[in-house]
Amino acid sequence: MGPYQEPDMEPLCGVLTAIVTPFGPDRGIDEAALRNLVDRQVEAGVHGIVAGSITGEAAALSPAEHERVVKLVVDQAAGRLHVMAGTVANNTRLAIELSYRCEDAGAGSLLQIPPSYIKPTQDGLIRHYEQVLTATRLPMVLYNVPQRTGSIIQPRTVLRLAEHPRVVGIKQGVSDLEQLNQILAARPASLAVLSGEDTLTLAMVAMGADGVISVAANEVPQAIVRLVAAALEGDRQLAIRLQRRLAPLM
């Protein structure tokens, strides 16, 4: 690799879609369908795509397939929106390997979950993230999703990790809004806070969050973009109407 340059990355906000990975009858990646999904997201006005994360069937992908998915999304997006790559791994070495692959594939940032099932201590989480940050070069977004991983990133740990210049955000998939409030109250300006639960997006944005990494946007991207835009702009009545209309789908 050539000499490192700090990535030129705008602050994360609005809607980023946690895009699914379509498969064909041969159980391989349906590349044409994936490209079409990317175009649909771009046309709907989303601000970014997250490829190869939990919603992107990461557990069903080999490392080579994971890299291929990210490369396809980056290629099809063609600079029209931000591409974040999920690096779902339950050990630090694999997280680093996947991060290398995603960087080589052209991702603009990494979405990193805690090691699943292992339930590390908070100090263990810090060491895990610090090792990945030391080994890689891309900006990182933390993913707090205890219902999937079995461990939670406590607010004090989030704020400790946010001191690193390349920790640029957190996807907060935790229903405890008091934890969200603690992060929002003390976060540095450089840390974006994004909802990780579609059903809580309006509440989180009302509290000060910057947007959502959305699953529902796979199906109704324009509606999610309108919802988040209304919430960020303070149009409470429109945001409530959209949230209630979309609640059954969410």
CA 109/CA 112 separation, integer angstroms: 10
Measured between its terminal Cα atoms, the distance across the chain in Å is 42
DSSP 38-100: HHHHHHHT-SEEEESSTTTTGGGS-HHHHHHHHHHHHHHHTTSSEEEEEE--SSHHHHHHHHH
What are the residue numbers of the active site? Answer: 143, 171
Q: Within 13 A of 189's CA, how many CA atoms are on the CB side?
A: 1
User: Rounded to whole angstroms, how far apart are CA atoms 231 and 240?
Assistant: 9
